[in-house]
Structure 1
Amino acid sequence: MRERRAPKYMAIAADLGQRIRAGEYAAGSALPSQRDLSTSYGVTLATLRQALRVLEDEGLLSQQPGRGTFVAEPRAAYRLDSLRSLADDLVAQGQTVSTEIIDQSLGAAPDWVVERIGAGVALRLERVRLLAGRRAVHQVSWVPDPTGARIAETDFSAVSLYAAIASTGLVVHRATETLRPGLLDDPAAELLRQPAGTPVFVSDRTTYVLDDSPVVFDRATILGTVMEIRTERVATGLSLRWSRLKH
Structure 2
Amino acid sequence: MTGRTPKYRTIAEDLTRRIGSGELAPGSTLPPQKQLSSAYGVTLATLRQALQQLEDDGLISQEPGRGTFVTGPRLAYRLDTLRGLAEDLRAQGRTVTTRVLDRRRSRPPAWVAAVLGTAQTHPVLRLCRLRLLSGRPAVHQVSWVPDPFASELADVDLGGPSLYAILAERGVVVHRASESVRPGLLDEDIAAMLGQPVGTPVFVSDRITYGLDGRPVLVDRATIPGSVMEIRAERAATGVSLQWSHTPGA
Q: Which deviates more from structure 2 when the two are superposed, residues 170-179 or residues 94-103?
A: 94-103
Q: Which deviates more from structure 2 when the two are superposed, residues 219-228 or residues 171-180?
A: 219-228
Contact 1:81 1:231 in 2 (8 A): yes
* CA offset digits 1:85-138 (Å, max 9, x no partner): 111111222211111112111233222111112234421111111111111111
RMSD after superposition? 3.1
Question: Quick one: structure 1 residues 152 and 107, their matched pair in 2 at CA, closer, same or farther if it must change by over 3 Å?
Answer: farther
1:213-232 → structure 2 map (5 Å cutoff): 213-232=215-234
Name the residue aligned to 1:6. Answer: none
Runs of 4+ in 1 over 6 A off after TM superposition: 41-45
Find 1:233's aligned residue among 224, 232, 235.
235
Letter in 2 for 1:113: V
Letter in 2 for 1:134: R
Q: CA deviation at 1:82?
A: 1.4
Larger Rg: 1
Question: Quick one: structure 1 residues 193 and 142, their matched pair in 2 at CA, closer, same or farther if it must change by over 3 Å?
Answer: same
1:20 aligned onto 2:15: yes
Name the residue aligned to 1:210. Answer: 212
Gaps of 5+ in 1: 1-10
Letter in 2 for 1:20: L
Contact 2:19 2:70 in 1 (8 A): no
SS at match of 2:189: helix
Q: Distance in 1 between matches of 2:106 and 2:127?
A: 11
Q: Distance in 2 between matches of 1:24 and 1:159?
A: 26
Name the residue aligned to 2:3. Answer: none
Question: Quick one: structure 1 residues 54 and 158, their matched pair in 2 at CA, closer, same or farther if it must change by over 3 Å?
Answer: closer
Q: CA deviation at 1:16?
A: 4.8
Q: Distance in 2 between matches of 1:65 and 1:217?
A: 45
Letter in 2 for 1:135: P
Q: Which deviates more from structure 2 when the two are superposed, residues 237-246 or residues 120-129?
A: 237-246
1:68 aligned onto 2:70: no
Letter in 1 for 2:94: Q
Contact 2:16 2:54 in 1 (8 A): no
Find 1:124's aligned residue among 123, 126, 130.
126
Q: Distance in 2 between matches of 1:207 and 1:76?
A: 22
Name the residue aligned to 2:180. Answer: 178
Question: Quick one: structure 1 residues 134 and 169, their matched pair in 2 at CA, closer, same or farther if it must change by over 3 Å?
Answer: same
Contact 1:83 1:174 in 2 (8 A): yes
Q: How high is the TM-score relative to the length of structure 1?
A: 0.80
Name the residue aligned to 2:100. Answer: 101
Contact 1:106 1:152 in 2 (8 A): no
Q: Distance in 1 between matches of 2:19 and 2:151?
A: 51
* CA offset digits 1:157-192 (Å, max 9, x no partner): 123211222133111111111101100112212222
Gaps of 5+ in 2: 1-5
Contact 2:7 2:46 in 1 (8 A): no
Letter in 1 for 2:33: S
Letter in 2 for 1:128: L
SS at match of 1:137: strand
Letter in 2 for 1:68: G
Contact 1:147 1:168 in 2 (8 A): no
1:144-223 → structure 2 map (5 Å cutoff): 144-223=146-225
Question: Quick one: structure 1 residues 96 and 212, their matched pair in 2 at CA, closer, same or farther if it must change by over 3 Å?
Answer: same
Report the count of equivalent residues.
233
Name the residue aligned to 2:109. Answer: 110
Contact 1:180 1:202 in 2 (8 A): yes
* CA offset digits 1:191-239 (Å, max 9, x no partner): 2222221111100000111121111000001122222222222343224
